Structure 1
Amino acid sequence: MGTAERQEALEDGVAARSTGDGGAPVRSGAPKAAGFEGPRPARATAEQQEYYRPLWIEEPARRRRLPDPVRTAAVRAVLIIAVTLIQATVAFLCTMAGSWLAFPMVISSVVSTVVATWGVLDVWVTRQMWNQRNGVVSEPSSTARALRRERRRAQRQAKATRRAQERIARKGGAGQLSQSHS
């Protein structure tokens, strides 16, 4: 949608909110079918433009989005915790009602609590692993930063060696010492 189309949609939205005789909102025209252009709404007045307010205002995110593996683990943990809470509620209600289902539900709730604890620990461990591997922690003593520094140093050294070999090959081996016995 281009700028002109957005402006046209804005004007249509303002015209759709304009008030009729009784002060109630009035919609302008019928739904537009293919090839049918309804009557063009008049330009919005200053009063009508003040009435128009967007439904939401885009704001930049305060925090960056979680990495995919961490987000996957977090969603899994939330689902497990939700099921655990439902089981605990059912176990409580069955116990209050004196149902035979109370004992199996209490046992399954205990097991679910253990699994939910594992799910939360999984999120924590996954986040720590991702931070360590991708160097998000910006401390001078970061392991990932030191590994990146070593990797860059090795790449620079390999590049310099490769350039030297290419330079020697271009010269035709003129810089090499050889023993020739004629």
Structure 2
Amino acid sequence: MTGTAERRKASDAGVTERSAMRRVRVTTDRGGPEQERGRGAYGDEQQQGRAPLWVEEPAQRHPMPDPVRTAAVRALLIIAVTLLQAMVAFFCAMAGAWVAFPMVISSVASTVAATWAVVDVWVTRQVWSQRYGVVSEPSSTARALRRERRARRRQERAALREQERIRRRGGTGRLSHS
């Protein structure tokens, strides 16, 4: 239990330290003496020894692969246009405008296209994960079994070739023709 208590104390100290740093940063960035001398909050932070407002960290990985993201953005745009068309068709129908019927027809066609776009996202995601997803390596036992199977097949093929060679020579399978 001492390990857990020590970890808790360490994490509490880390939280306290981080919040104190935030308070210092906020007070110095909001118009302290640096602002009065004409120095901005962004310009001379490294020269003065202050911590920057934020540190840009590169993303560990994209939440989605690029082809899937592209398909998702395309689907989102198509869905947005479809909803807009449906709304315009509804208001035109309520107003009794002549454009209502063509808008309803185009909304139905856009609904089909939006459904297709969503299916495209799903298929693209499946294809990507199948091609580039999990790299599976067979276990050593599977490898050994496969090796044994290959050796057996090789022996069987060699035996068949030997029998075929003996048959071609005209022998009946005997070793001598006495």
For normalisation by structure 1, the TM-score amounts to 0.47
Higher alpha-carbon Rg: 2
For normalisation by structure 2, the TM-score amounts to 0.48
